[in-house]
Structure 1
Amino acid sequence: MMPVERTSTSIVFIEDDEKLARLTARYLESHNVRVTLATDPREGIAAVLREHPDVVLLDLMLPEIDGFEVCQRLRARVHTPIIMVTARGEEADRVMGLEGGADDYLPKPFSARELLARIRAHARRARGLAGPPAERQIVAGSLTIDPCARRAIFGGMELALTTYEFDLLHALAERAGRVLTREQLVDLVRGSADEAFDRSIDVHVSHLRKKLGDDPKNPRIIKTVRGIGYVFAIDRM
C-alpha cells in the first residue's frame, strides 16, 4: 500500500511522447502530484525556471536538444532533483545522466507506482523531510553541515549541492573516519527499495570531490578504500 502524501508535490515532466506523458500525468495527478507537461525541451527548461517544481522528470530522447544537454542546462541554474526516464537503460547511459547532473535514473517501461515513490522521496529530501531532522550540526574538520537548513559550509563557503549530493555528504561526514561500503551509502542516502548500482555512488562522490576542491587522483577528504567504498577522512583536512 502506497503511503499517503498529504503535501501536494509539483513536477515538470519534459517528454515528447504525448501519449505516455498524458497517461503518466493522469496517474500522478490522481495521487496528489501537480504535473506541468512540456513536449519541447526549451519549453520544459522555461517551465522549470518559471514554476520551481519539487522534481523534474526528464526524458532522455528529446528533439533538437537531448535530455543530457537539458539536464546540464538546468543543473547550471537550479538544484531541483532531476529524474531521467528513458528506454536507454544501459549502465553507460545511466552513468552519463548522473555525470550530467541527474539525481536518479528510471528506465522505460517503468512502473507508475515506483515512479511515484521516487518522486515523493526526492521531493521529501529536497524539502528536508526525508526523516526526523537531526537538531545538531555536524562539524567535520573544515566542513559544517546543518541538517535542518540543509546547508553545507566548507572553508567558510556554502557549497552548492544537489539534494542527492547533500545527503551523500551528510552520510559520510556524520560517520567521519568510518569506512562505508557503496551498498551502505545507497541505503543511507536513497533507501534500499530504490534500484541502484555501484557506479552511481562513484559518480556522485566525484561531484562532491570537485565541489570540495579535493584532488581526484589523490583525494584527502573523501578517500577511496579500494574494493570496499569510501571514508570521510577528517584527519587529513
Structure 2
Amino acid sequence: MTLEPGRRCVRALLVSDDASFAGWFVARIEAGGVHMEWVREKENLVGRLEVFEPDMIVLDRPSEGAGELPMLANCDRFPTLLLTNSKIHCDAHHTDFIPRRSDPDLVIARMHAMLQRTSHGCAPVQEQLIIGDLVLDPLERFVTWRGANVELPTTEMRVLEVLMRFAGETLSREELSQRVRGRALNPDDRSIDVAVSKLRGKFDDPAYGSRKIKTIWGKGYALNPSAWQH
C-alpha cells in the first residue's frame, strides 16, 4: 500500500522497547508512505511529541493494553493504535488495536481509518513557525532564511524548531536534549553544542557575540526573536 495521490504523509510516533521489532516495523511502515519515528517507553514521550508533532501514536504492547501506561494520560489528544498479541477492549473512540505482526498494509489502512474516524478525514494541520525572516515548516521539514532554502540535518532542524517554539526563553542543554532526542544528556555528550554551533554558522551568527542564538552562560541557549528581523 502506498500513499494516495493528493493525500499528505501521515506522521506517526512508535512507542516500543523492542529495538529489533521497532527497526523492522518502522522500515516497512515508512515504505508505505508514513513518516514514522521511534521512541522507547522510558524516554521523554511528551518532549518528543512536542517536537515531532505526530498525527497519531502507535503503541507496541505485546501482552498488555494502553491502561498499563500512565505516561499516555497526558497524550489522549492523539489517536493511539495498539500493537498487541492480546485481545483487549478499547472504550475510547480514539484508541484501536491490531495484532502485532499484522501485514504492514493492514496497519497503514487501520491508521488512515483511525484518522478519518477521529478527525473527520483531516489529519491535524501543523503550522509553520515564523520569526522575522526565518521560516520552519514542521510538516514538510524545510527551513528558509530571507527567502532562501537552508538545508539542515535532522538534529540541527529539531534544535532550531525547539528554540523557535520557546523563542526568548532560556533552555538548558539537558532540556534541549530531552525535547530533541527524548533522552537525558550524557556528561560528555556535546551534540547539542555542536548543533547550535553549526546553526550559527549557517545563519551568519558568529560564535563570539552571537545574537540570533545566544549563549546564556551557566544556563543554556536562547533564540533572540529581534535578531532575526531585517
TM-score, normalised relative to structure 1: 0.46
Greater relative contact order, per chain length (Cα 8 Å cut-off, separation 6+): 2
Structure of larger gyration radius = 2
